[in-house]
Structure 1
Amino acid sequence: MILYPAIDLKDGKAVRLLRGDMDKATVFNDDPAAQALEFVAKGCEWLHLVDLNGAFAGQPVNAAAVEAILSQAQTPTQLGGGIRDMATIEMWISKGLTRVILGTVAVENPDLVREAAREFPGKVAVGIDARDGRVATKGWAEVTDVDAVDLAKSYEDAGVAAIIYTDINRDGAMMGPNIPATAALARAMTIPVIASGGVSSLKDLKALRDCGASLNGVISGRALYDGAIDLKDALKLLKT
């Protein structure tokens, strides 16, 4: 399993939110590129970025911070937030981004997701953020009637590289991931699934690793910043 350290960007800074609430942001680093380099120095093989402002605005807002990370970290990187048209997808990939994450448009414009996956093989992931099993969009501000598993299954034949599944109620809350829901989704899919939300300890990582479903990886944020998880220990655990 791959560990994806998360760098959430708000107003040019690396922050973490509590359950997606923009008013409950904790700033962990004023220099996101420096934070990225710190993760890379400890051995991470990927970075997971989210443009939080962009998710609400529907277009890139923290582009300068993302570009600084891409130019300095030189590590495979995936980005979500505010990516809602082909021009933005092309822009990010041309700047060296390894993988774009499409969330809101996965619900509102599935044809775009399919087109992007055909145009950029291996470089398009679908982000499915769910609250009580229902998909939320626009920076988690709007909860739809769309079932998370149904949405994931609708992309089985689209050629997307991964499904990133986030349980919003667990995100940033340090209360453990929703392992049953994540494992159930992974078992229902042939697309690689990445778990996100609530990972707060090495015990959580081990539980995901041993959940019986084939997970591609796991995203962790607050626990790495708070020191609840040592990145080097986590990387070692997930490689065994």
Structure 2
Amino acid sequence: MLGADEASQRSALEAVNAFPGGLQIGGGVTPNNAQMYIDNGASHVIVTSFIFTDGRLDYGKLEELVRVVGKDKLVIDLSCRRVSEGGDYAVVTHRWQRFTNFILSKSAMESLACYADEFLVHGVDVEGKRLGVDKELVALLGQWSPIPVTYAGGVSSLADLELIRDAGAGHVNVTVGSALDIFGGDLEYEKVVQWHKQQCVSLTSP
């Protein structure tokens, strides 16, 4: 995700220019800058906070973004936290500090699917802790999302990747961040790449 400073913006543009069509950009995305990121090589823009006003989903803002970049270039970030122990998952915004009234459900995700190409969902309760994934959230995403959905949060081992594959019934993608050795973690990047290649082979094998 982008920071608000110019250095972050500059680095992001350098990255998408170097790998056109291979990276998504999120953080501070609005109708005023979304097309600029796409024009510079981003495959998609990721949006969360902009489409919420006073904790409520603002369909007017969402429709404006779709008009600017198109549904096929938009990823809606539905990163969430439990409202209470064992309770529903609510979308959180503004660096995951503010709860919204948007509760994840099958009907809620279906209603948003016509506005986006993908969903991105950080399990904020476990994000960055490297203590395991939110298995229940992964399972719900696999059941509820009618479009591609990517889960992030808590991955620390290859076993976690397999848990996500199985809990999500093969319908949930995954991102790995701080656990990777290239970012100072213990999970070997090369082993993750190899695991991914093996999954791709399995999917294409008769």
Q: TM-score range by the shorter chain?
A: 0.7 to 0.9
How far does residue 196 in structure 1 lie from its aligned partner after superposition? 0.8
Question: Given the superposition, is the C-alpha separation of residues 208 and 237 from structure 1 closer, same or farther in structure 2, using an over 3 Å criterion?
Answer: farther
- Taking the aligned partners of 2:168 and 2:176, their CA distance within structure 1 comes to 20
Cα distance, 1:68–1:153 mapped onto 2, change above 3 Å? same
Whose RCO is larger (CA < 8 A, sep 6+)?
A: 1
Q: How does 1:1-240 map to 2 (within 5 A)?
A: 50-51=1-2, 53-54=3-4, 62-74=8-20, 76-83=22-29, 85-108=30-53, 109-118=58-67, 119-132=69-82, 133-149=89-105, 151-158=108-115, 160-224=116-180, 225=183, 226-230=185-189, 231-239=192-200, 240=202
CA distance in structure 1 between the partners assigned to 2:139 and 2:188 by the alignment: 22
| Aligned 8 A contact 1:192 1:215 in 2 | yes
**TM-score with structure 2 setting the length:** 0.79
Deviation per CA, 1:88-144, whole angstroms, max 9, x where unpaired?
111111111100111113333332323433542411010011111121111112122
Looking at structure 2, the residues matched to 72 and 184 of structure 1 have their Cα atoms a distance apart, in angstroms, of 36
Question: In the alignment, is the contact (CA less than 8 A) between 2:152 and 2:175 conserved in 1?
Answer: yes
Q: CA offsets per residue over residues 8-38 of structure 1, 9 Å max, x none?
A: xxxxxxxxxxxxxxxxxxxxxxxxxxxxxxx
Q: 1:61 to 1:81 in 2, by over 3 A?
A: farther
C-alpha spacing 1:183/1:229, structure 2 compared with 1 (3 Å): farther
Identity %: 23
* Cα drift, residue 237 of structure 1: 4.1
TM-score by length of 1: 0.69
Tell which structure's C-alpha radius of gyration is larger. 2
Larger displacement relative to structure 2 (109-118 or 61-70): 109-118
Paired residues of 1:195 and 1:215 also in contact (CA < 8 A): no
2:164 and 2:172 in contact (8 A); partners too: no
Deviation, structure 1 residue 151 = 4.5
Unpaired runs of 5+ in structure 1? 1-49
d(CA) in 2 for partners of 1:170, 1:212: 17
C-alpha contact 1:179 1:211 (8 A) present in aligned 2: yes
Q: How many residues were matched structurally?
A: 184
